[in-house]
Structure 1
């Protein structure tokens, strides 16, 4: 799934200290590899990157103890390659990683990091990329290709997560070329995705725009350009496309080839918790056809994803 934020200190935290946060979607959070983008930090340390009352600066930090709720919910790896992992500087980043290690929940996304899980004898590598300092940089496509190639030599299956693209309800389409947001280079998600598949990636999953985007197949491998926001307690704008989300369920064979897939629609309900339902299937099906034509993923009304 895409971006996940369980709230932010000091006042915007869920009731019961987060214990029931994922209960409405518990049946969906199952799989050999359950991957989400941790959009923020788990820290009480560090200094916020936001200076003063700038309306365009957001810094998220939930208690380190919340790591246990991600583990309990079923996540097996968290992506830290995004523009919020450094919201509270090096101290906040370090405490976030310590919080995940404390509950034995692997993470990926730091510069050059390849995280490998063994699933019933199959080695699965997960790599996170973002256009942000400290992350494996998706803007440096030659370096991304080299990192993915190394991962393909270490593992049977390579999954890439990218945090890329401009943000907001007017950015549902995959634009050709580099995308910018508030003057920042947010990468060329189309060129990046094709390049990492050329280098050995078997599945590419996107987040970052805060809205869902289309899906295509390239060389038989699925690219989901953005799964939107999965949860964001009192931290995200809500309503319409901003509340429309989904969980992608993909089965890959041991050699990485695509076997089957399904998009489970979800939505964010106020004040920012996830629940099943919504219009994600229709939205992504339409965007896929509009943006990718003959290469678009074919998505049925019940969310089943087929190659073109």
Structure 2
């Protein structure tokens, strides 16, 4: 089965009208031609398709577009949608159900959500000519994950997700994990994400695709499986936001599940969406990608991760953790509480995020 996998798709105030009108050539350029060659086209829809103004309480932007934007999504040939991400619940239960209704109306199936946390874990299967491709779609914890008593996305869990991968692998010929996580704008995995992706392969994944970072990261082939640490955006023209340079390039993944061959198609952002990056531009994107891939082999990716964490742009030493830097003792107390599993368990129990109270009356 020939699959085309794209990352973050968000119709915005700039592109909304083109999506509504189904003007895919303006939105996607030569991607329109690439899409015709795939058996299935899988994308991460990272916003609510809704007219609701009921934004949930959260840190970060609440993102939505009109349900009519489904016209462009369908016309491009997108066949399957992943919803386990940190924005699809930005307008609560109403926004998510409107999104589901728009996809249902267009005949586009989706995965990564459920009526509760257990239901959200159900795997997704694509059957073509007797061959079955499975997808496990999970997201890191922000303001969208399902609860025992509320609809939401499939939350990553270090134990349950591995169990889900093992179970899904029993029922398919090829298994893809689409993991919505990793640090925004970082081109390298954290040591945690690196080990996590490897363990997903050990549990049965043939490919692990990490999205969410809004930048192209790096790639490795590990024990015969493909691991991508960051695809970049797909179509996300964020007006009024000073985006970093890495925002404007991305990769489409062309994956053949019969041969296990993978191909990376470079993309460049345009004023109205995205396009295939041809010539020198595309060559440069891929050359820089290959350079980072080599760092996964020689171990220097860890230096890249550390440099990112200590950069001024990250400002992780800001006022919210200022006490940690007041004395050497306070700094080490803070580090210890982060490092020790039992202490972080207590923190999570005492300090619940708004996700635990948002929309419980809906």
Between the aligned partners of 2:70 and 2:123, the Cα distance in structure 1 is 21
> What does 1:197-216 align with in structure 2 at a 5 Å threshold?
197-216=201-220
Quick one: which of 274, 294, 307 aligns to 1:289?
294
Show the 5 A alignment for 1:153-168. Answer: 153-168=170-185
Q: 1:247 aligns with which of 245, 249, 252?
A: 252
Q: Are positions 1:144 and 2:161 aligned together?
A: yes
Q: Classify 1:18/1:149 alpha carbon distance in 2 versus 1 (closer, same or farther; 3 Å).
A: farther
1:118-129 mapped onto 2 (5 Å cutoff): 118-129=127-138
Residue aligning to 2:324: none
**Counterpart Cα distance in 2 of 1:213 and 1:76:** 25
Deviation sequence 1:115-160 (CA, Å, 0-9, x none): 111122211111211113123222x121111111121122211111
SS of 2:90's partner is coil
Aligned residue for 2:264? Answer: 263
Counterparts of 1:15 and 1:164 in 2: how far apart (Å)? 29
CA distance in 2: counterparts of 1:12 and 1:230, whole angstroms:
13
- SS of 1:37's equivalent in the other structure is strand
User: Does the Cα contact within 8 Å between 1:238 and 1:268 map onto a contact in 2?
Assistant: no
More helix by share: 2
Q: Does 1:231 align with 2:235?
A: yes
Q: Do 2:45 and 2:82's aligned partners in 1 also have CA atoms closer than 8 Å?
A: yes
The question of whether the paired residues in 2 share the 8 Å contact of 1:46 and 1:89 is answered with no
Change (3 A) 1:213 1:190: same
Gapped regions of structure 2 (runs ≥ 5): 1-5, 114-119, 147-152, 302-362
With the length of structure 2 as denominator, give the TM-score of the two structures: 0.69
> 1:164 and 1:239, CA in 2 relative to 1: closer, same or farther beyond 3 A?
closer
Matches within 5 A, 1:53-202: 57-110=60-113, 111-132=120-141, 133-134=145-146, 135-138=153-156, 140-168=157-185, 171-177=186-192, 189-202=193-206
SS of the residue 2:52 aligns to: coil
Deviation at 1:46, TM superposition (A): 5.4
RMSD: 2.2
Change in Cα spacing, 1:152 to 1:23, as seen in structure 2 (3 Å) is: same
SS in 2 for 1:137: coil
Report the Cα distance in structure 1 between the residues aligned to 2:109 and 2:263, rounded to whole angstroms: 25
Secondary structure at 1:226 match in 2 = strand
Matched, 1:40 2:41: no
Query: Once the two structures are superposed, what CA deviation does each residue of 1:181-224 show, in whole Å capped at 9, x if it has no partner?
Result: xxxxxxxx222212222121111112111111100111100011
- C-alpha spacing 1:157/1:16, structure 2 compared with 1 (3 Å): closer
Alpha-carbon distance change, 88 to 101 in structure 1, aligned in 2, over 3 angstroms: same
